[in-house]
Structure 1
Amino acid sequence: MIVTAPVHFELENEAAGNLIIKTTDVSKENARIKVEAKVINSSRSNTTARIEVEIFDPSSNSIKTLSKNVNLKASETRELIFEHQIKNPVLWSVDAPNLYQLEARILNGSKILDTYSSRFGLRWFEVDTERGFILNGEPIKLIGANRHQDFKGLGNALPNSLHRKDYEMMKEMGSNVIRTAHYPQDPEVYKICDELGLLVWTEVPVINDVTDTDAYHDISLKMQREQILQFYNHPSIVMWGIMNEIFIRLVFNNQITEEEKVEKIRTSVELAEKLEKETKRLDPQRLSVMALHENELYNESGIADITDVIGWNLYFGWYSPGLESFGEFLDEQHRRYPNRPLFISEYGPGADVRLQTDTPLPWDYSEAYQLKLHRSYINQVLERDFVFGMTAWNFADFGSSFRQDAAPYINQKGLVNIDRSKKDIYYYYQARLLEEPMVYISGEHYQTRYPEDENEKVKIIIFTNQDKVSLQTREQEFPSEVVDGMAEFVISLPEGKHRLTAIAGDTFHNREIEVKFRKNLLENIGKQPVTINVGAHVNYTDPLTGETWISDHEYKTGGFGFVGGEVYQRDKNKFQGTASDIQGTENDPLFQTMRKGIEAYRFDVPKGDYRVTLLFADPEFNASEENIYNLSDAQKQEISGLRSFDVRINGTLFSRDLNLARDYGRIRAVEKSYRVKAADKGIQVELPENAGRSLLSGIKLEKE
């Protein structure tokens, strides 16, 4: 509740009481300021008041006070305009976010009836297909991230301190732009961006689909008016977003008729034109923008030509194949539409810090693949001046109710985790964007390496913005040139713990890692169990127990590994395993990957007592729960989704007719442990099939 004097600045409007400060005709020599205010006399009698507008420079020095005396009739609302020109203005920029201050007052004699305060900045900008984005006459490439304000344990309702922390982290990463996808954020956010020097693309939540009703169109226009009028004074805002991926539901809707499709396109284009017209009516100075997903319909419908600039949400190497296809797509668009400024509004793969590998693949959710894709995208954008900027999806992991990835119901494309702990990719952006010297040894969550033996080398990756870097161990020093903000070292390290030091110029960074040879894991099984992420090329570390389930490999005499079978993939084009919420576990990635049709898993261990723990999950939603007793082989073949197998260890039957869906449920984690004695040939776990294909997700071997 806001209590005012009878004479006050108007509050009950779409601007929510904001006085509009227009900064037109800004140059290095001059800046024209126009202040628009509305004053209300809500009393029943006429009155006289004086309205003052005082302007302070970025050093808090008062430079001008403008004033007007007004006679207000009872219940009258009066619009007032104040104008002033500043000579040699102190400009606002991403490197020097200088802010002027405006204070407005309503006085009756010496009595102050109402006050209003706002900061503003003086800058000008434009976008050019040849030179890119130009701020205060200087071209800059815009690189940053999208941001949802979702935070672990809190959801979207955050205190201002956490808003500030996010944007400070983005600035410290080297960002100069952010996109508040897909909704206007807390007013404090824009103040923070003003102060830090972060350019902003802010947008209204007109997302994925348009309803062909007056009510939907009207509320969309109302949201845009409210956004523009409430946040108008913030110099950080350079783009007003009107839509995001507005045809994506249409494209993936197999039930829609051709006639319905035509109408959906018509109403979407009509709304886009309305939003564009309203945006330019209220603010012709800033850029209008919409974000599109990879589909030709945006060009065919003409909707991509409505706003000043467009942003493409592109996921080549993730949802679409081929990292190189990203640049090819951009070149083809620029060839067809040479006068259209392009922005990459979304890009990035999911990454789970629990998953690590040196051989990354799409959809393995490893930090290594996240690095591979982001490195490629940054390089391809920097090579193309007609692409004026890019914002990664997303600054931080966030809740997403329908996603079932490595961490179900979390979108893991963040550069940091949902609790804001940093992934390696955050430091890589620092290496590409910061001017202040930095160096960082990657692997915060990859501190134990498992080469086969002393003949297999270990990969160490260092991020730095310097030209050269050296990696030091206790015994050796390895120099390297830096390419694309990183240097890769492939070195031999003996088994044990190692302290690594990266030195680049006057900066350095230390990290401790441990090397464990796979060939020796069985010899040390009395001290530590052997845990294997069957069917996966990534290591998985359980954050609670600290156990690392190492990547799978084929059996060789004297060691351990799988015999026969193949890696399970539900979607051969995308998924490493199954992207499902595995019930009954928090270690979803361990159960999402598996080997099917496996003949055996062998361990060449000495005689003794052991415990074997097998991990299973039936990944099929249509898995059959049928009982195979009294069924012929022909009858079994007729039952879709039927899977039954036995568990035999060293020839002894431990589990008969194991039907995971029937006995435990579909998409559910199952752990079964058996005490066994190792024979002369060690331990051999076999999974003979009764119907369908056998599956194994993980195996743990412990010495009793």
Structure 2
Amino acid sequence: MLKKTLLLLLLFFFAITNAQKTRGKAELSEAKINLDEGWKFHFGNSANSEKDFNYGNKLLFHKSNVFEATIVSPKFVDSTWTKVDVPHDWVVELPFVKSATHEMDSHGYKPVGGLYPETSIGWYRKRFSIDKKDEGKRFEIQFDGVYRNAAIWVNGFYVGTNFSGYVGKSYDITDYMNFESGNVIVVRVDATQSEGWFYEGAGIYRHVWLNIRNNVHIPEDGVFVHSTVNGKNASVTIETEVENKNLTSSKGTIYSYVTDRNGKQIAKTSEQNFTLSVNGKTTVKQKIALNNATLWSLENPYLYKVVSVIKQNNQIVDKKKVNFGIKTVRFDANEGFFLNGKHIKIQGTNNHQDHAGIGSALPDFMQYYRIKLLKEMGSNAYRTSHNAPTPELLDACDSLGMLVLDEQRLLNSSPEYIDQFQRLLRRDRNHASVFLWSIGNEEQNIQGNEYGKRIAQSLLAIQKELDPTRTSTYAADMGNDFKGVNEVIPIRGFNYRQFAVADYHRDHPNQPLLGTEMGSTVTTRGIYEKDSIRAYVPDQDITAPWWASKAEDWWKLAAENKYWLGGFVWTGFDYRGEPTPYKWPNINSHFGILDVCGFPKNIYYYYKSWWTNEDILHISPHWNWPDKIGKPIDVWVNTNADDVELFLNGKSLGKKVMPRNSHLQWQVTYEPGTLEAIAYKKGKKLTTKVETTGQASKVIVSPDKTVMLADGKDGTVINVSFQDANGKEIPDANNKIYFSISGDAKIIGVGNGDPSSHEADKCGDGMWQRSAFSGKCQVIIQAGKTPGIIKLEAKANGLVSASTTIQIK
């Protein structure tokens, strides 16, 4: 177990470090310049035009360029605006507001949406300069994700509006560039309408880039790499788009080469000629044979690189680097799922994209942190419910070995949503981790009728056109129903309805079946009694909503029937919004296997017992119950051992055989001391215990990593716990922690996993603090750009403080 954990940590460190180094090189060779830093931000107002910088009163669209003193003009004075860097989520910084409206509880009781005009419009401004030597090249502004309905101006010229809050968009701004006095980007973000029924945040919450290209170039997402495998060899097909933006026809050559993961060139195509008319485009297909190819797998997520190169007059004018993996995927209606010919049960989780302390604006390192936690649990697949993910999430899954079910936001074939789907497919189809597409989720009004069928057919045709190497599913909350979308979808997806799967397989034996949403046990970490006042539910697999199931109810069916491809639990992490089964004061969900900070709940050990081959033995609850002496305590043991014997203060409470894909329970009369479990797994002895502790005596800080890159973007998660005077961890401590930091780094968020906590995630006064919940809390820090040593200190009244040092280099 220790060896496997160390290997995973090494893989995690290699992946994120290599990804950051690769990204830096790509920015240089492909002129991809990051524009995240140095933005100005100010709220507008959706109900009062004067408070919205006269957006509704001024004529911003009657001329091509507006140089009068409007909000979009480069002359507009924004010196009093708030300085921010993106990714930025303004909603996570807002206070919680009690409201009876469904929209508010779905979005975590944050004041955003149509009822809150003062905090639902955000304006961003960014100044940047371009060297005059680059005049004559093509310039493109790329937004990876803005939530939502983002209108964009450059130097007073309107360039476009991206309706989607999840799929990024790029705009050619060549005609509007100023090489003398600098440039100004203005973005108006309108979050008055929501796209989901969960916390979505608001703002420019993903990266922004400036792409500089030659007039003859490879457009964004213009390289598509796919492969076929024959024994130990692979045939790699590289489809490269070339575009001519010169005012005359242009000629050139294109070639591609493949490197190994370390950048060593191992194969190359010949140069192929092309001729393009004005505004002409072509796609050049080239093949490369790789002998003894290394396949991308969950255990060895090996990534090759393709570099496509355009030459004119024997000079390189553009090149594009793409990571890719070589693998085979097969879905069998009777035998299940196969990766590289090996049968694998899909052990997946659904997840929204927010995290404690930082909302939806996750720095890149947080994507790797979260995927690492899921892999440690034994999960091998991630569904991006219910929207296009940030590209860095897919980078993390590519690098760490996590399959991805990549999902379209809406089952709709209008031009807007077709455009969104096309952008999603083109952007993500090179990612090795993506093994399946989803064309939508739970469209109850149309999924079972002819509307749904026809829309599904239209989306499936687009998927096959842009990515014929994969197939699709749809997340249907339907039972044994073969109508609408289910008639045409290649992989039948089940949201819950787990007991209908067997009947559906009997009636439709040739259609593979996947649990797209399963489980949904609601639990609160460290709480063992229902508490309707504080909105807590017990931390065991005993409570699920009427439409869902407990973990054991679905996983036994999936694990023991080959025709199940597997499934995705709702959810891996708790998320803000959609509180269930309570409303206020509860501000986030209870569905997670881990809480919003990533701290494991007890159900984590159930899944880890049956999703890994590690030796798992876990007792719950803790053993601090001074008010229950002489009263019965319901004790659970999660393990994959063969049998377990439980002891209280050395006295045996009986031995029990461990049923596969289940758990064990004892009723134990409480007395302080030590509750110990001794188990045997194939003759190997396993032990674990929980003990009664004293009061908290000192603070303990545990950084996820102790070395960060001095790039202004890297960071780390530091988890906080407590010990008593004897060094025992305190499971029920709730002390308030005060954080301070020295050196070139900053705190960007705090959390504790309490689903009813109304403490601030962002401490605007700079006095960073958070109360512990069930013995834990968390602080997230981000590095600056100066190499050196930083120090984080955590203090609590009456306790020995703790500190940790982290190197920035």
Question: Percent same amino acid at aligned positions?
Answer: 22
2:485 maps to 303
Q: Are the equivalent residues in 1 in contact too, given 2:580–2:590 (CA < 8 A)?
A: no
Local SS of the residue matching 2:554: helix
Q: From 332, 337, 341, give the equivalent of 2:512.
A: 341
Q: Which structure is larger by alpha-carbon Rg, 1 or 2?
A: 1
Structure 1 residue 4: Cα displacement: 2.9
Q: Are the equivalent residues in 1 in contact too, given 2:479–2:501 (CA < 8 A)?
A: no
1:305-327 Cα deviation digits (max 9, x unpaired): 21101111116xxxxxxxxxx43
For residues 586 and 185 of structure 1, do their structure 2 counterparts lie closer, same or farther at Cα, with a shift above 3 Å needed?
Answer: closer
Structure 1 residue 543: Cα displacement: 7.9
Local SS of the residue matching 2:452: helix
Matched, 1:9 2:217: yes
For residues 354 and 58 of structure 1, do their structure 2 counterparts lie closer, same or farther at Cα, with a shift above 3 Å needed?
Answer: closer
Spell out the pairing of 1:571-610 with structure 2 (5 A cutoff).
none
Q: From 598, 610, 619, give the equivalent of 1:420.
A: 598
Q: Are the equivalent residues in 2 in contact too, given 1:428–1:463 (CA < 8 A)?
A: yes
2:749 maps to none
Structure 1 residue 98: Cα displacement: 1.9
Q: Are the equivalent residues in 1 in contact too, given 2:408–2:439 (CA < 8 A)?
A: yes
Structure 1 residue 292: Cα displacement: 0.7
C-alpha RMSD over aligned residues = 3.4
Q: Are the equivalent residues in 2 in contact too, given 1:352–1:365 (CA < 8 A)?
A: yes
2:562 maps to 385
Spell out the pairing of 1:4-83 with structure 2 (5 A cutoff).
4-11=212-219, 16-23=220-227, 25-44=228-247, 49-58=252-261, 60-70=263-273, 72=275, 75=278, 76-83=280-287
Structure 1 residue 51: Cα displacement: 2.8
1:392-436 Cα deviation digits (max 9, x unpaired): 001111122676626634222111111222111112211111113
**Letter of the 1:351 counterpart:** T
2:671 maps to 495
Structure 1 residue 94: Cα displacement: 1.8
1:152 maps to 356
**Letter of the 2:516 counterpart:** S
Local SS of the residue matching 2:343: strand
For residues 485 and 289 of structure 1, do their structure 2 counterparts lie closer, same or farther at Cα, with a shift above 3 Å needed?
Answer: closer
Q: Are the equivalent residues in 2 in contact too, given 1:355–1:367 (CA < 8 A)?
A: yes
**Letter of the 2:299 counterpart:** D
Q: Give the whole-Å Cα distance in 2 for the aligned partners of 1:499 and 1:139.
A: 39
Local SS of the residue matching 2:561: coil
Q: Give the whole-Å Cα distance in 2 for the aligned partners of 1:489 and 1:293.
A: 33
2:390 maps to 186
1:122 maps to 326
2:462 maps to 278
Local SS of the residue matching 1:413: coil
2:607 maps to 429
Structure 1 residue 232: Cα displacement: 0.9
Q: From 411, 435, 440, give the equivalent of 2:618.
A: 440
- Give TM-score scaled by structure 1 length: 0.62
Structure 1 residue 510: Cα displacement: 3.7
Local SS of the residue matching 1:175: coil
Q: Give the whole-Å Cα distance in 2 for the aligned partners of 1:82 and 1:345.
A: 36
Q: Are the equivalent residues in 1 in contact too, given 2:530–2:536 (CA < 8 A)?
A: no
For residues 424 and 106 of structure 1, do their structure 2 counterparts lie closer, same or farther at Cα, with a shift above 3 Å needed?
Answer: same
Matched, 1:237 2:434: yes
Structure 1 residue 60: Cα displacement: 4.5
For residues 172 and 487 of structure 1, do their structure 2 counterparts lie closer, same or farther at Cα, with a shift above 3 Å needed?
Answer: same
Local SS of the residue matching 1:113: strand
Q: Are the equivalent residues in 2 in contact too, given 1:462–1:486 (CA < 8 A)?
A: no
1:206-263 Cα deviation digits (max 9, x unpaired): 16xx6xxxxx62222222211111111112211111121111x579xxxxxxxxxxxx
1:252-288 Cα deviation digits (max 9, x unpaired): xxxxxxxxxxxx9443322111111211222232121
1:66-85 Cα deviation digits (max 9, x unpaired): 23153545644342221122
Matched, 1:246 2:246: no
Q: Give the whole-Å Cα distance in 2 for the aligned partners of 1:86 and 1:338.
A: 37
Q: Are the equivalent residues in 2 in contact too, given 1:9–1:37 (CA < 8 A)?
A: no
Q: Give the whole-Å Cα distance in 1 for the aligned partners of 2:530 and 2:638.
A: 16
**Letter of the 2:492 counterpart:** I
Q: From 477, 489, 496, give the equivalent of 1:293.
A: 477
Q: Give the whole-Å Cα distance in 2 for the aligned partners of 1:116 and 1:513.
A: 60
**Letter of the 1:26 counterpart:** V
Q: Give the whole-Å Cα distance in 2 for the aligned partners of 1:7 and 1:506.
A: 68
Q: From 572, 575, 579, give the equivalent of 1:395.
A: 572
Matched, 1:314 2:499: no
Q: Give the whole-Å Cα distance in 2 for the aligned partners of 1:310 and 1:164.
A: 30
1:1-55 Cα deviation digits (max 9, x unpaired): 43434244332xxxx33410021x3232332211111223433456554433111
Q: Give the whole-Å Cα distance in 2 for the aligned partners of 1:276 and 1:367.
A: 41
Q: Give the whole-Å Cα distance in 2 for the aligned partners of 1:587 and 1:40.
A: 53
For residues 109 and 370 of structure 1, do their structure 2 counterparts lie closer, same or farther at Cα, with a shift above 3 Å needed?
Answer: farther
Q: Give the whole-Å Cα distance in 2 for the aligned partners of 1:88 and 1:358.
A: 57
Structure 1 residue 443: Cα displacement: 2.7
Structure 1 residue 491: Cα displacement: 6.3
Task: Point out the more displaced range, 130-139 or 459-468.
Answer: 459-468
Local SS of the residue matching 1:410: coil
2:341 maps to 137
Spell out the pairing of 1:653-668 with structure 2 (5 A cutoff).
none
1:608-651 Cα deviation digits (max 9, x unpaired): xxxxxxxxxxxxxxxxxxxxxxxxxxxxxxxxxxxxxxxxxxxx
Local SS of the residue matching 2:541: helix
Local SS of the residue matching 2:266: strand
Q: Give the whole-Å Cα distance in 2 for the aligned partners of 1:383 and 1:484.
A: 10
Structure 1 residue 335: Cα displacement: 2.1
Structure 1 residue 545: Cα displacement: 8.4
Q: Are the equivalent residues in 2 in contact too, given 1:107–1:113 (CA < 8 A)?
A: yes
Matched, 1:411 2:592: no
1:81-108 Cα deviation digits (max 9, x unpaired): 2112223322122222222221223345
- The runs of at least 4 aligned residues of structure 1 exceeding 6 Å deviation read none
1:163-205 Cα deviation digits (max 9, x unpaired): 1111111111101111111111011111211222221111111
Q: Give the whole-Å Cα distance in 2 for the aligned partners of 1:586 and 1:400.
A: 11
Q: Give the whole-Å Cα distance in 1 for the aligned partners of 2:553 and 2:588.
A: 25
Local SS of the residue matching 2:367: helix
For residues 250 and 228 of structure 1, do their structure 2 counterparts lie closer, same or farther at Cα, with a shift above 3 Å needed?
Answer: closer
Spell out the pairing of 1:449-464 with structure 2 (5 A cutoff).
451=628, 453=630, 457-464=632-639
Q: Give the whole-Å Cα distance in 2 for the aligned partners of 1:483 and 1:232.
A: 41
Q: Give the whole-Å Cα distance in 1 for the aligned partners of 2:643 and 2:302.
A: 35
Q: From 94, 101, 114, give the equivalent of 2:298.
A: 94
1:418-464 Cα deviation digits (max 9, x unpaired): 122211111221111111323222335x74376572xx554432222
Q: From 391, 402, 405, give the equivalent of 1:201.
A: 405
**Letter of the 1:344 counterpart:** G
Q: Are the equivalent residues in 2 in contact too, given 1:427–1:440 (CA < 8 A)?
A: yes
Aligned length: 481
Q: Give the whole-Å Cα distance in 2 for the aligned partners of 1:466 and 1:157.
A: 41
For residues 450 and 434 of structure 1, do their structure 2 counterparts lie closer, same or farther at Cα, with a shift above 3 Å needed?
Answer: farther
Task: Point out the more displaced range, 174-183 or 85-94.
Answer: 85-94
Mind listing any 5+ residue stretches in structure 2 that lack a counterpart? 1-140, 142-209, 544-548, 695-730, 737-754, 759-809
Structure 1 residue 355: Cα displacement: 3.8
Q: Give the whole-Å Cα distance in 2 for the aligned partners of 1:381 and 1:493.
A: 36
2:452 maps to 268
1:219 maps to 416
1:484 maps to 660
Structure 1 residue 509: Cα displacement: 3.5
Q: Are the equivalent residues in 2 in contact too, given 1:481–1:487 (CA < 8 A)?
A: no
Q: Are the equivalent residues in 2 in contact too, given 1:39–1:79 (CA < 8 A)?
A: yes
Mind listing any 5+ residue stretches in structure 1 that lack a counterpart? 211-215, 252-263, 316-325, 516-540, 547-584, 589-704
1:374-396 Cα deviation digits (max 9, x unpaired): 02221121222221111000111
For residues 112 and 465 of structure 1, do their structure 2 counterparts lie closer, same or farther at Cα, with a shift above 3 Å needed?
Answer: farther
Q: Give the whole-Å Cα distance in 1 for the aligned partners of 2:457 and 2:626.
A: 56
**Letter of the 1:461 counterpart:** W
